[in-house]
Every structure is written in C-alpha cells, then in structure tokens.
Amino acid sequence: MKKVILSLGLVAFLSSLSMAQETHSANDGHNHAATPAATAPTSLADIKLDKMVHDYGNIMQGDNGECTFKFKNTGKEPLIITMCQGSCGCTVPQCPKDPILPGKSGEIKVKYDSNRVGPISKSVTITSNAKSGPQTIMIKGNIAAKPVEEAFPTTPPSQGAPLEKK
C-alpha cells in the first residue's frame, strides 16, 4: 500500500511541476534577448568565365565535339569546383580537381557526342564554393548527317556470250 501511495504522490508532484512552467512568446511583453541567427560564412572565392555559351555552328556527324571554357578565380581564397554535371549523357564535362588559387585560371572541357544528328542545346552546371553560386554554361549548334557514300556498283565479270536456251 505504501508503494501505491508513494507512486501516486510522485505522479502528482511531477504533474504540478509541469503545470507551473510559464510559456513565453516573442510578443508577450517580456524583453527577450534576440539570439543571432547562425549563418554560414560566405566564401571569398569567385569564378569568372570567358564565355557562357559555345556555338559549334554547323558541323558534320562524327566531327570533333570538344570545346573549352576558360575561367579565372577572381576571389580572395582558393576556388574549389565540387561538381560539373552535363544535362544529359551525351554531354561530358571535365573540371579541375585541384583548388584554383586566387588570380589563377583553369579550364573546363566539354565533349559532346557528335554522332547524334540534329540541333544541339545542352547545359553544364558548375557547382563550387564561389560566392556567385552555381554557374550554368551552354553548348549549341547543329549536326548535319554525314553523306552516305555509295560503293561503285559492281557487276559480276562477264562469262562470255550469253547462252541461248532452247
């Protein structure tokens, strides 16, 4: 019996403690000290590309589909490119893996599969620690079908005069 009374007393005590707490809100008239929001430090690296679009113009099927985008780190700390991603599997970018020091330059190479015929309009997204955020570069152009070369028609060599059938 003592255990039951002790248990009920403990429950009653804990209940009274939980009800005794006051709740405060920002507009309750009390002077609450504002807590500064935790903000991520802004990077001092930045990227400046020499061009945002590469135009292949009109090229033939199977021609070289490579181009280069040059860039410079115009910031005050090393530029780290974490990812370069093409908009589809036919557009393959290559980005530098090492950090680019302030004032230094680098290249992003893009290879397009030119065996696909028709107009090109693809993008590559560059993700880095640049304060300007992710950059998107474009490639465009038109790929014409390679002309089909027909082999010179060959006829079997003559076997002499044709035979008459009777």
- Looking at the 3D structure of the chain, how many domains does it have? 1
Strand residues in the chain grouped as ranges (E): 47-49, 53-60, 66-73, 81-86, 91-94, 105-112, 118-128, 135-144
The pLDDT value recorded for residue 28 is: 54
Find tokens 């280069």 and name the residue.
68
Residue 52's domain comprises 47-144
Residue 4 placed within a domain: no
- Interatomic CA distance for residues 135 and 54, integer angstroms: 14
Residue 36 placed within a domain: no
- Looking up residue 72, the CATH number of its domain turns out to be 2.60.40.10
Residue 16 placed within a domain: no
Residue 80 placed within a domain: yes
Q: Render each residue's pLDDT in the chain as its tens digit; 166 residues.
A: 667 676 666 566 656 655 555 555 555 555 555 444 444 557 899 999 999 999 999 999 999 999 999 999 999 999 999 999 999 999 999 999 999 999 999 999 999 999 989 999 999 999 999 999 999 999 999 999 988 776 666 666 666 666 666 6
- Interatomic CA distance for residues 80 and 73, integer angstroms: 10
Burial of 42 (0-12, 13-18, 19+ CB in 10 A): exposed
Residue 75 placed within a domain: yes
